[in-house]
């Protein structure tokens, strides 16, 4: 019954659309606007329809999966390969998957994961979702294959590694554990770019940051960009100011993934007479958009928990005059995704 209703809905909608399109053939701007509204309407319909499915107390995951398959098959009739209609289908599937919690749920959704990957093999989340389906069916070989493809697309995203560690535990295979531990700890590039947001560095990355010096009136220097960050060791950043300046605060711009610890090892200011002023840890106050701070007398540690742009503000206890250079030593470390021996 549902498929018949959807079929008639799409047929009528497409018929009306192409009728308008034929009428407006010689009005290209109006035709383009109409097309955009039409695609947005279809995508919105898919999302609203799926929201109605997941609002029910007992979610019918088989029915939800059938809707996704139907949406994709309907799109194939009017476009070849990936199209803008797929945005709504992806959003609908993401809503449905977010409610899946059990083995039965993921097995029921397997066909929808496969179907969307037929259209766009680069959706790394769908790779992970399908990997979970295979995991629950104990088809570990296929699950690891999907995980490998997911990590190839977005190496910084953690979902694939988490499933791999569970497989390593279930199979007691230390080679799988060691392999994915190394891949996780070595990955610094390839974070996902969110659809409606841009980041400071064009996507999530653990390999770049920017540093900005400010005086007490928030008069700033330029942002100094740095790349090639190293984890588990001290990174030394040197800022040579174009003119002797007053320094009261340092801002650190980051687009890191969640689960990284940043340690402020030392801040050294050099003035116009080449005097070095090392700032005591207790004279560094840290503020942030979303991070958490660990208080330690020996070093200031910051826990990054959000996959959003972050600005860490290091406010010094007083303003320092006539500064020509700033030496900032930072250390980065990833938190483990499991308490298995992952070193």
pLDDT by 10-residue block (mean), the chain, 343 residues = 55 57 56 65 86 93 95 79 80 95 97 95 96 98 97 93 97 95 85 62 85 87 90 94 93 93 95 94 93 81 90 95 96 93 77
Rounded Cα gap, residues 98 and 148, in angstroms: 22
pLDDT score of 224: 93
In the three-class reduction of DSSP (H, G, I as helix; E, B as strand; rest coil), residue 249 is classed as: strand
pLDDT score of 64: 95
pLDDT score of 182: 93
Write down the domain spans for the chain.
Answer: 2-186, 208-334
Q: Which CATH class is domain 208-334?
A: mainly beta
| Crossing angle for the helix pair 124-136 and 85-98, to the nearest 10 degrees | 40
The 10 Å Cβ neighbour count of residue 214 is 19
pLDDT score of 144: 98
pLDDT score of 200: 74
Rounded Cα gap, residues 259 and 307, in angstroms: 9
Give CATH for domain 2-186: 1.25.40.10
Distant-in-sequence, close-in-space partners of 64: CB < 8 Å, separation ≥ 6: 50, 53, 54, 96, 109, 112
Distant-in-sequence, close-in-space partners of 134: CB < 8 Å, separation ≥ 6: 110, 140, 142, 143, 146
Establish whether domains 2-186 and 208-334 are of one fold: no
Structure tokens at 317: 């206890």
- String of DSSP letters for 29-73: HHHHHHHHHHHHHHHHHHHHHHHHHHTSSS--HHHHHHHHHHHHH
Compute the C-alpha angle 14/19/21, nearest 5°: 95
Distances (CA, A) of 265 to 184, 262, 285, 329, 330: 24, 9, 13, 5, 5
pLDDT score of 145: 98
pLDDT score of 211: 96
DSSP assignment letter at 282: G
Strand 234-254 and strand 260-271: pairing?
Answer: unpaired
């Amino acid at each position: 019954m549902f498929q018949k209703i959807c079929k008639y809905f799409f047929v009528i909608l497409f018929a009306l659309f192409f009728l308008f399109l034929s009428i407006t053939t010689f009005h290209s701007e109006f035709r383009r606007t109409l097309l955009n509204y039409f695609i947005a309407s279809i995508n919105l319909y898919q999302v609203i329809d799926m929201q109605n499915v997941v609002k029910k107390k007992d979610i019918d995951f088989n029915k939800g999966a059938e809707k996704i398959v139907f949406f994709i098959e309907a799109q194939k009739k009017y476009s070849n390969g990936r199209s803008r209609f797929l945005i709504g289908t992806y959003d609908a599937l993401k809503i449905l998957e977010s409610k899946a919690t059990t083995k039965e749920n993921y097995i029921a959704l397997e066909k929808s994961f496969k179907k969307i990957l037929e259209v766009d093999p680069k959706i790394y989340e769908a790779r992970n979702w399908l990997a979970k389906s295979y995991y629950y069916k104990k088809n570990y070989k296929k699950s690891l294959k999907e995980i490998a493809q997911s990590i190839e697309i977005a190496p910084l995203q953690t979902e694939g590694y988490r499933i791999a560690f569970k497989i390593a535990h279930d199979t007691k295979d230390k080679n799988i554990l060691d392999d994915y531990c190394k891949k996780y700890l070595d990955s610094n590039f390839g974070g996902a770019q969110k659809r409606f947001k841009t980041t400071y560095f064009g996507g999530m990355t653990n390999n770049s940051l920017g540093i900005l010096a400010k005086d007490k009136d928030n008069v700033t220097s330029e942002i100094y960009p740095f790349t090639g960050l190293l984890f588990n060791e001290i990174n030394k950043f040197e800022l040579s100011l174009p003119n002797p300046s007053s320094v009261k605060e340092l801002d650190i711009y980051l687009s890191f993934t969640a689960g990284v610890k940043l340690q402020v090892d030392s801040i050294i200011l050099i003035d116009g007479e080449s005097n070095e002023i090392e700032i005591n840890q207790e004279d560094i106050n840290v503020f942030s958009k979303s991070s958490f701070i660990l208080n330690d007398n020996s070093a200031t540690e910051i826990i990054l928990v959000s996959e959003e742009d972050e600005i860490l503000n290091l406010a010094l206890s007083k303003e320092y005059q006539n500064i020509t250079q700033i030496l900032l030593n930072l250390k980065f470390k990833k938190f483990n995704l499991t308490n298995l021996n992952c070193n």
